[in-house]
Amino acid sequence: MPEGHSIVDKAGHQRDSVRIKWYEDGTGRTYRQHHLGSDEVPDIEIASGDLATVDIYPRDAVPVFVGHYWLTGTPTPLAANVACTDYSGAKDGKLVAYRWDGESELSADKFHWVETE
């Protein structure tokens, strides 16, 4: 985050960094648009130098499945070749899986889940 800006995470901790969408180019976007998480991130433009060290995951790379994001809502690919299967299964969310058959472009209809309590 730019100097002087911070967010408070869901556990109440003040943070001066945010998780960005490493699978999308953030050029010309705001921190809120490029943040993977809540809308509590300031809606200020990202300076071009702030993304200078970020390697964007190529759209033609092999699909990757990730976790530790605690997403909500209906599971869907984050990008054509990026899927998260962490939908807060331990905290009244969903226990999520993706049935991958070797396809290079992921599909929302291949997610499977059960609600947890």
User: pLDDT per residue over 58-109, tens digit each?
Assistant: 999 999 999 988 888 999 999 999 999 999 888 889 999 999 999 999 999 9
Sequence ranges of the domains in the chain: 1-56, 64-115
Of the two residues 78 and 54, the one the predictor is more confident about is 78
Q: How far is CA 82 from CA 23, 49, 64, 76, in A?
A: 7, 25, 5, 9
Residue 109 phi, psi (nearest 5): -75, 0
Confidence at residue 39, expressed as pLDDT on a 0 to 100 scale: 67
